[in-house]
Amino acid sequence: MSARRPNIVFMLSDDHAAHAIGTYGSVVNRTPHIDAVAAAGVRLDNLFATNSLCAPSRASILTGTYSHVNGVTTLDTFIDASQPTFVTALREAGYRTAFVGKWHMGQGSSDGVDHDPQGFDRWDALIDQGEYHDPRFLSADGLRVEPGYATDLITDLAIDWVESLDGDGDGDGNGDDRPWCVLVWHKAPHRPWEPDAAHAGMYAEGGPAGGQPIPVPPTFTDDLAGRSDTARRAAMRIADHLTEEDLKAPVPPGLSADEEALWKYQRYMEDYLACVASVDDNVGRLTSWLADRGELDDTIVVYSSDQGFFLGDHGWFDKRFMYEESIRMPFVLSYPRAVAAGQALDRIVTNVDIAATLLDAAGVDVPERMQGRSFWRDLTDPAAARRDREREGFYYRYWMHDDRSHQVGAHYGYRTHRYTLIFFYNDGLGLPGCSDRRFAQEWELYDLEADPEELVNVAEDPAYAAVRDELEARMWLAQQQVGDDPHPDQPVPRLIAEGHPPTR
Ligand code: CA
């Protein structure tokens, strides 16, 4: 590695689906600045959230652990912020560190556990979900309101902090060239999708970036007949579950049911994409500023999102489910000093792997508690990185059973390059944020090669019996490996019970 340790700018947005980013093939918008980061470095095509929900994903990213280990399983299980993170490890290794933006893992303390950010020289955190306009920030100095738009302000605060480090940081008269790491974690484009004046309406019909209605995804009218009852029970349908606060206007009178659904889709997407456009502009602002400082080559620039999102796919908004649009995280990274430009990586990796990867990049030892594995070598020396594509896969678990707003049943599963297996155990297990209703347990299996839209559940199809046997066993082993417990109702997989575990 180079003698100089990299600075790190880690931008994370909230609910920004990969399919609303140009380099990931978006047909609904353009994101030139995020695309430029990918073009200058690498785009990860198979980086997945292990629990597709805001707070749990943030906790996994920071701590490099699964939800059952870091304790942030639902939105209502606040983090014990004293646990080690990649940031605390960087700081112990001499990095200067800051956090700006959406934290959303609790404030203050409860039951003797502190939830505010730890391990940062400076932190400015939005309260709970945060506000788009004139947001409140909590810092070590207390609570304040910052006039302006959250996405711009978060970027400003990050830049101000780094600039405050210039000169003689430690007062010894020799200047201070220790590296720094800043987390720039946006609220946008999270619900309720409130654009700023500069971007509002840009994707509306007749708007500067639109002119045409926003393309409707091919699965928009999916009646979910090919999925489980659990999927059909979810309260995430654009046609039925967006509120007037989300839409910012009453539904025009006289529309048919189909016309009303399409009108809601356009309203929703216009605002979502306008919020994204502001994020993209601010990505450009940060990278231009780094370039002006002459630091772009020595800085690891990351843009990612805490999970994916349904953009009208299958008629839905939101995330949570272990389905493609929800679990895939956009993740692009540039670091010209060590990462060749124009790469794409299709290895299956997860949000749990990010902490170890950034520590590896900084030459800092990965704490033993972290469960993720670094994929840094795939980025810096892809020819030498060992791969066995058939062995790649990841374990997923959504815990927040039947929450009041979205009513998505608890489930876990295993995904390889070709298949997704899901077991809906449909039990809240008494966790905060879950209901105490139970529903019938169900399995789903999708062949992503034959059915990339996941329209046909083949879990009970005899032609897939052997595939299901193997995936059930691999899921069981993955669960053991990460130290999670299967639901007590889940039968031991046949191959495990018969003593023939899969070799991979
Ligand atoms: Ca989120």
pLDDT tens track for 151-176: 999 999 999 999 999 864 445 555 67
Q: What value, to the nearest 5°, has the Cα angle with vertex 351 and ends 504 and 87? A: 130
| Total domain count, the chain | 2
Using an 8 Å Cβ cutoff, are 16 and 278 in contact?
no
CB-based contacts of 501, cutoff 8 Å, min separation 6: 473, 477, 495
Q: How far, in Å, is the centroid of ligand 1 from the Cα of 398?
A: 13
Q: How far, in Å, is the centroid of ligand 1 from the Cα of 330?
A: 12
Asked if residue 12 and residue 45 are part of one domain, the reply reads yes
Asked if residue 304 and residue 448 are part of one domain, the reply reads no
Asked if residue 395 and residue 381 are part of one domain, the reply reads no
Residue 242 lies in a domain: no
CATH number at residue 416: 3.30.1120.10
Q: How far, in Å, is the centroid of ligand 1 from the Cα of 73?
A: 14
pLDDT at 435: 98
pLDDT in tens, 337-396: 999 999 999 999 999 999 999 999 999 999 999 999 999 999 999 988 888 999 999 999
Order of strands, sheet of 180-185, starting from the edge strand that comes earlier in the sequence: 142-145, 136-139, 122-126, 96-101, 180-185, 7-13, 299-305, 331-334, 42-44, 343-345
Asked if residue 16 and residue 81 are part of one domain, the reply reads yes
Could you tell me the CA-to-CA distances from 490 to 284, 302, 422, 475 in Å, in that order? Answer: 48, 39, 12, 12
CA atoms of 438 and 36, how far apart (whole Å): 47
Q: How far, in Å, is the centroid of ligand 1 from the Cα of 264?
A: 21
Q: How far, in Å, is the centroid of ligand 1 from the Cα of 305?
A: 7
CA atoms of 431 and 474, how far apart (whole Å): 26
Asked if residue 180 and residue 305 are part of one domain, the reply reads yes
Q: How far, in Å, is the centroid of ligand 1 from the Cα of 394?
A: 20
pLDDT at 176: 76
pLDDT at 206: 81
Q: How far, in Å, is the centroid of ligand 1 from the Cα of 129?
A: 10
pLDDT at 403: 96
- The residue range of the domain holding 490 is 391-497
CA atoms of 48 and 245, how far apart (whole Å): 30
What pTM did the predictor assign? 0.97
Strand partners, 415: 394, 420
pLDDT at 2: 45
Asked if residue 414 and residue 469 are part of one domain, the reply reads yes
Q: How far, in Å, is the centroid of ligand 1 from the Cα of 436?
A: 24
CA atoms of 474 and 495, how far apart (whole Å): 10
Using an 8 Å Cβ cutoff, are 75 and 53 in contact?
yes
pLDDT at 174: 57
Asked if residue 160 and residue 39 are part of one domain, the reply reads yes
pLDDT at 169: 47
Using an 8 Å Cβ cutoff, are 371 and 65 in contact?
yes
Asked if residue 408 and residue 376 are part of one domain, the reply reads no
Asked if residue 479 and residue 424 are part of one domain, the reply reads yes
CB-based contacts of 210, cutoff 8 Å, min separation 6: 202, 203, 204, 270
Ranges of residues in the chain with a pLDDT under 50 are: 1-2, 168-170
Q: How far, in Å, is the centroid of ligand 1 from the Cα of 190?
A: 7
Asked if residue 28 and residue 174 are part of one domain, the reply reads yes
**Around Cβ 310, how many Cβ atoms within 10 Å?**
26
